C-alpha cells in the first residue's frame, strides 16, 4: 500500500541556518534508513510562498497564502510503499523534527 | 424444529468465528457483518437445512459479500478479482472456516482507531452486542454509537490495518493496545458500583471480551493477569454498596458477599500468572487484587503491608501519579495519618487534580491531622467531581460527619 506522510510543523523552527543544515542532515539519514520503502517526497518552501486557488462553482479565486492559517503548516511529504499501516506508522515515527509537529498518514487510493 | 434450534445455536456460537473469517478475507468488517446478517436471514428461510450450518453460513455469506463487492464501483473495474473470489468460495465450502478471531481482535483494537471507538468496536464486532446495548452501557445515544462504529469500520477498511496477528516487530505495541481497550472499557464499568445498572452490564460485556482473548491467547501472562484482575474486581460488586446505596470501601467490605464463582474464575487466571518471573504493572495489579480477595471474612486483617510492597514495585517499573496515590493510602493505613499526609503532599497535584479519589484521600488525611476546615473543603471538591451515586453518597456522609465533629 502507498501512503503519503504529510509533515506539519512550524516553519519558524528553521529560521537559523545551523538548524536548517542539521535537519537536512537528519532527513538524509532518515531517507537512507527507509530507502526500501520511500518512493518519493519533497520538502516545501515556507507557507508565505503558498498560493491557494479557491473554487466556488464556476468561479476561481486566488488567495495569497496557504489553505488554512495555522501555526503548523504543511512543510513536506514522503510517499512510501509498505505492507501495512503499522509499517507506515513506524516510518512516520522516525521522521525528524526541529521542534513540535505532526505527521498525517494518508493511504493512497488503491488502483489495484 | 430441531433445525431452527441448531441454527440459532450456531449463529450464537459461531458468529465471531464466521465474521472474523469473512472480515479477514475481505479486509472489511462492515461487509463481513452485513453479509453474515443476510446469510442468517436466508438460513432462516431455507427449506433444506444443511448438515453443517456453520459451513453453510460461511459459504453463503461469502457469496453475498462477493455479490455486493461486484455491485460496488471498486470491484466492477476488477472483474478478475471477483472471479478469483468465486473459485475460492466453492473450495472453502468443503473446508474448515479459518480461525481469524484473534486477528480480528487485533484489528478492532488498533492504536490508530480512536480509543472510545475501539471500545465500541470491540464490544460490537467481537462480542456481537448491538449499538443500543453498547449505548446504554457507555452512556451515549444509540445514534452516537452507530456513528462511531461506522467511522471506525471505514477506518478499518481503508487505512491498511491488517487482519492479521501482528508480527514480532509490532506485536508488543499492538497487544498493549488490545489490553488497554479492555482496561478502559472495564474502568468505565467499574466506576459505578451499581449492581444492576448499565455499568454492571458493560462490566459483564467486558469480562466476556477478556475471556475470549484469554481463550485465543492461552499462556500469555499479560492477558491472564488482566483477566484475573478484572474477574477479582467484578466479584466484589455485590459487596460494594450498603442497603442505603452508599459505597463500602474495599477494606470494610464483607468478603462473604463476594461472588464465589467469579472469584474461582479469577483464581484460575491468576494461577497461570507468575509474578516472580514476570513482574509487570499488570501482573502486580493482579497480585494486589488476589491479595484483597484472599480474605475470607471481615475480621481477617487487611493485606496493607504486602499491597504497599506491590505498589513500590509498580512505581519502580513505571512512576505514575495514580499508583503513587494508592501507595499513599497504604502508607496511611500502616504508618498513620501524619506519615500519609507527608507522602500525600509530595504527589504531583497537576496530574491528579481532576480525580475525586485524590481529593477524598487528602480529605481523610487532613481530617485526622487537625486540619478539619481544609478537609471539609477537600471533601466538597471530591463530591463535585464524583460521578457514581454510591461513591458520592459515601463522600457526603464522610463530609457531614466531619462537619458535625467540627461543630461540637
ipTM value > 0.95: no
How large is the average pLDDT for residues B304-328? 96
Shortest alpha-carbon distance between residue B82 and chain A (Å)? 12
> Does residue B82 surpass a pLDDT of 60?
no
Rg (CA), chain B: 25
CA distances from B255 to A69, A90, B229, B247, B288 (A): 61, 48, 16, 15, 15
Task: Indicate which of A84, A93, A105 best probes the interface with B, i.e. most B CBs within 10 Å of its own CB.
Answer: A84
How large is the average pLDDT for residues B285-295? 96
Per-residue model confidence (pLDDT) at position B262: 97
B75 inside 8 A of chain A by CB: no
For B393-406, write each residue's pLDDT tens digit.
Answer: 999 999 999 999 88
Residue B75: band (very low, low, confident or very high) from pLDDT cuts 50, 70, 90: low
Q: B158, A83: Cβ pair inside 8 Å?
A: no
Percent of chain B with pLDDT over 70: 94
Shortest alpha-carbon distance between residue A77 and chain B (Å)? 18
Task: Indicate which of A34, A37, A84, A86 best probes the interface with B, i.e. most B CBs within 10 Å of its own CB.
Answer: A86
Shortest alpha-carbon distance between residue B162 and chain A (Å)? 6
Q: A85, B166: Cβ pair inside 8 Å?
A: no
Shortest alpha-carbon distance between residue B298 and chain A (Å)? 50
Residue B70: band (very low, low, confident or very high) from pLDDT cuts 50, 70, 90: confident
> Does residue A17 surpass a pLDDT of 70?
yes
How many angstroms separate the first and last alpha carbons of chain A? 10
Q: Smallest Cα–Cα separation from B203: which of B227, B187, B226? A: B187
- Residues in chain B with CB shorter than 8 Å from the CB of A83 are 162
Per-residue model confidence (pLDDT) at position B274: 85
Q: Smallest Cα–Cα separation from B178: which of B201, B210, B205? A: B210
For B112-135, write each residue's pLDDT tens digit.
Answer: 999 889 999 999 999 888 888 888
Question: If 0-12 CB within 10 Å is exposed, 13-18 middle and 19+ buried, where does residue B112 land?
Answer: middle
Residue A88: band (very low, low, confident or very high) from pLDDT cuts 50, 70, 90: very high
Say if residues B35 and B61 touch (Cβ distance below 8 Å).
Answer: yes
How large is the average pLDDT for residues B376-401? 93
How large is the average pLDDT for residues B304-331? 96
> Does residue B106 surpass a pLDDT of 50?
yes
| B123 three-class SS | helix
B316 inside 8 A of chain A by CB: no
Per-residue model confidence (pLDDT) at position B91: 42
Q: A85, B158: Cβ pair inside 8 Å?
A: no
Q: Which is more confidently placed, A76 or B201?
A: A76
| B194 three-class SS | coil
CA–CA gap between residue B224 and residue B205 (Å, rounded): 17
Say if residues A1 and A82 touch (Cβ distance below 8 Å).
Answer: yes
Q: Smallest Cα–Cα separation from A80: which of A6, A10, A23? A: A6
For A37-72, write each residue's pLDDT tens digit.
Answer: 999 999 999 899 999 999 999 999 999 999 988 889
Q: Which is more confidently placed, A2 or B49?
A: A2
Question: If 0-12 CB within 10 Å is exposed, 13-18 middle and 19+ buried, where does residue B242 land?
Answer: middle
Residues 139-158 of chain B with CB under 8 A from chain A are: 158
Question: If 0-12 CB within 10 Å is exposed, 13-18 middle and 19+ buried, where does residue B379 land?
Answer: buried
CA distances from B53 to B17, B58, B298 (A): 13, 8, 52
Long-range pairs of B74-77 with CB within 8 A, sequence gap ≥ 24: B77/A112
Q: Is the pTM of this model over 0.90?
A: no
How large is the average pLDDT for residues B145-162? 93
Amino acid at each position: 500500500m502507498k501512503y503519503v506522510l504529510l509533515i506539519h510543523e512550524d516553519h519558524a523552527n528553521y529560521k537559523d541556518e545551523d538548524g536548517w543544515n542539521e535537519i537536512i542532515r537528519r532527513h538524509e539519514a532518515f531517507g537512507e534508513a527507509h530507502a526500501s520503502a520511500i518512493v518519493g517526497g519533497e520538502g516545501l518552501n515556507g507557507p508565505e510562498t503558498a498560493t491557494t486557488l479557491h473554487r466556488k462553482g464556476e468561479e476561481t479565486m486566488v488567495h495569497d497564502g496557504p489553505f488554512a492559517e495555522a501555526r503548523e503548516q504543511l512543510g513536506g511529504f514522503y510517499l512510501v510503499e509498505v505492507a501495512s499501516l503499522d509499517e507506515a506508522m513506524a516510518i512516520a515515527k522516525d521522521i525528524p523534527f526541529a521542534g513540535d509537529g505532526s505527521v498525517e498518514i494518508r493511504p493512497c487510493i488503491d488502483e489495484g | 424444529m430441531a433445525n431452527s434450534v441448531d441454527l440459532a445455536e450456531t449463529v450464537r456460537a459461531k458468529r465471531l468465528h464466521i465474521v472474523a473469517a469473512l472480515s479477514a478475507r475481505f479486509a472489511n468488517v462492515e461487509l463481513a457483518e452485513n453479509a453474515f446478517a443476510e446469510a442468517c436471514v436466508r438460513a432462516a428461510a431455507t427449506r433444506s437445512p444443511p448438515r453443517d450450518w456453520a459451513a453453510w453460513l460461511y459459504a453463503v455469506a461469502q457469496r453475498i459479500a462477493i455479490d455486493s463487492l461486484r455491485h460496488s464501483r471498486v470491484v466492477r473495474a476488477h472483474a478478475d478479482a471477483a472471479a478469483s473470489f468465486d473459485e475460492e468460495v466453492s473450495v472453502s465450502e468443503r473446508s474448515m472456516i479459518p480461525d481469524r478471531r484473534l486477528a480480528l481482535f487485533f484489528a478492532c483494537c488498533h492504536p490508530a482507531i480512536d480509543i472510545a471507538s475501539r471500545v465500541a468496536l470491540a464490544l460490537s464486532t467481537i462480542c456481537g452486542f448491538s449499538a443500543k446495548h453498547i449505548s446504554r452501557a457507555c452512556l451515549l445515544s444509540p445514534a452516537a454509537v452507530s456513528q462511531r462504529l461506522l467511522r471506525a469500520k471505514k477506518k478499518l477498511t481503508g487505512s491498511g490495518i491488517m487482519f492479521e496477528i501482528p508480527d514480532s516487530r509490532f506485536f508488543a505495541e499492538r497487544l498493549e493496545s488490545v489490553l488497554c481497550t479492555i482496561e478502559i472499557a472495564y474502568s468505565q464499568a467499574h466506576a459505578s458500583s451499581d449492581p444492576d445498572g448499565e455499568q454492571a452490564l458493560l462490566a459483564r460485556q467486558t469480562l466476556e471480551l477478556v475471556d475470549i482473548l484469554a481463550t485465543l491467547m492461552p499462556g500469555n501472562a499479560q492477558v491472564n493477569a488482566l483477566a484475573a484482575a478484572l474477574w477479582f474486581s467484578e466479584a466484589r460488586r455485590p459487596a460494594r454498596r450498603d442497603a442505603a446505596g452508599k459505597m463500602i470501601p474495599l477494606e470494610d467490605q464483607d468478603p462473604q458477599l463476594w461472588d464465589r464463582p467469579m472469584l474461582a474464575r479469577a483464581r484460575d487466571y491468576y494461577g497461570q500468572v507468575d509474578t516472580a518471573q514476570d513482574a509487570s504493572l499488570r501482573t502486580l495489579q493482579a497480585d494486589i487484587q488476589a491479595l484483597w480477595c484472599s480474605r475470607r471474612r471481615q475480621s481477617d486483617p487487611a493485606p496493607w503491608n504486602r499491597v504497599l510492597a506491590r505498589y513500590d514495585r509498580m512505581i519502580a517499573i513505571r512512576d505514575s501519579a495514580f499508583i503513587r496515590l494508592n501507595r499513599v493510602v497504604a502508607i496511611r493505613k500502616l504508618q498513620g495519618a501524619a506519615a500519609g499526609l507527608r507522602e500525600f503532599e509530595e504527589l504531583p497535584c497537576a496530574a491528579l487534580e481532576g480525580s475525586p479519589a485524590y481529593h477524598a484521600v487528602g480529605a481523610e488525611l487532613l481530617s485526622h491531622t487537625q486540619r478539619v476546615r481544609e478537609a471539609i473543603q477537600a471533601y466538597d471538591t471530591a463530591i463535585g467531581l464524583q460521578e457514581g451515586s454510591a461513591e458520592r453518597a459515601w463522600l457526603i456522609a464522610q463530609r457531614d460527619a466531619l462537619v458535625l465533629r467540627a461543630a461540637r
